Amino acid sequence: MAEQATAPLSEAHNVSGPGEAPAAGPARPPATPEGMALAYGSLVLMALLPIFFGALRSVTCAKSKNASDMPETITSRDAARFPIVASCTLFGLYLFFKIFSQEYINLLLSMYFFVLGILALSHTISPVMNKFFPANFPSKQYQLLFTQGSGENKEEIVNYEFDSKDLVCLAMSSVVGVWYLLRKHWIANNLFGLAFSLNGVELLHLNNVSTGCILLGGLFVYDVFWVFGTNVMVTVAKSFEAPIKLVFPQDLLEKGLEADNFAMLGLGDVVIPGIFIALLLRFDISLKKNTHTYFYTSFVAYIFGLGLTIFIMHVFKHAQPALLYLVPACIGFPLLMALVKGEVTEMFSYESSAEILPHTPRLTHFPTVSGSPASLADSMQQKLSCPRRRRQQSPSAM
């Protein structure tokens, strides 16, 4: 599920302007200071939760012995190509919205993210839900398999294993999915958005710090260009009805749950720094010093960068490319800490894929739907006493 969560990152939206109304519809009254404080404080909290817990789960995921549950590794080549692919995708969406009916495009996207959201949310809640199932809960195994070709040329399109516990999680997630599909409610949107973000941070792994710097640096330029250089990203952000951004109403205090004057933060501004922060956590663990210095340093740097984004946005009254502030903070703070501690060489020589992920498939193309929420949850809880049946699977990737 985390692989799918990365797809929307190409169209990541940024924090919207204060009290900014959609392109259509009547003008709204300005948001109150209390409403804005609540909205942006909630956005910051929602951004921190998937980064923190996704980073912790990435460590357990990296130690998984089940080859089918291994995370995807982003190499330097993938990182260099990502901003180009993201730009093409973003501009393609912009053209689609200009040429075709926005209503029909969003209907197709809603169905697509309805399926992905259910799978992502199911995987997210599985570790928690498994603690509530009684020991005698019947656990039957199922497999959904689609292939093309035959013999040696047979290729898996979908290979999805699940059990009875997964069905319960999928049913619960489907309720949220139907709610989102019918109402497009901001709470349902955020549940899916948080699930996508956590999956992305957990299952997308940078292979080293240099790759992280390439990825963040490239997307730094991407974000600045498409926000300040054109109106493409802002246009897509307002037109694209999909759970690829976290939103919170600035008029919640006045209108309650039916509020509709939203501030928003794109998932790309959560997941991209998040996978770099998760890498630094794994680097901390590799040092075997029982400290998480670089993880906490980068975590604080993210808070600082996001807070600075919101501050600058209110000063200039214009949507801001969050990565403009997040990238220097998330790279600069840990690097400064490494200089102080004399560990710069260790930091840049650390190879996540070599030390923790010896058999991780490279990220080379967009993924098919594969994997199992239950198997991922089992590996995260390290229930190795009852290992799942292994199956051969061609590595899925972006």
**Please, where are the H alpha helices in the chain?**
2-6, 33-62, 76-99, 102-129, 164-183, 186-203, 209-224, 232-239, 252-255, 268-287, 293-316, 323-341, 344-349, 352-355, 373-380
Residues with Cβ within 8 Å of residue 159, at least 6 apart in sequence: 143, 144, 145, 146, 370, 391, 393
- Residues 373, 153: Cα–Cα separation, whole Å: 28
- What is the H or E stretch that residue 250 is in? none
Residue with tokens 């061609």: 394
Residue type for 230, please?
A: T
- Rg of the chain over Cα atoms, rounded to whole angstroms, equals 21
- Residues 386, 135: Cα–Cα separation, whole Å: 13
Positions annotated as catalytic residues are 223, 269
Tell me if 9 sits within 8 A of 267, measured CB to CB.
yes
Rounded to 5 degrees, what are φ and ψ at 297? -65, -45
Q: How is residue 149 annotated by DSSP?
A: S
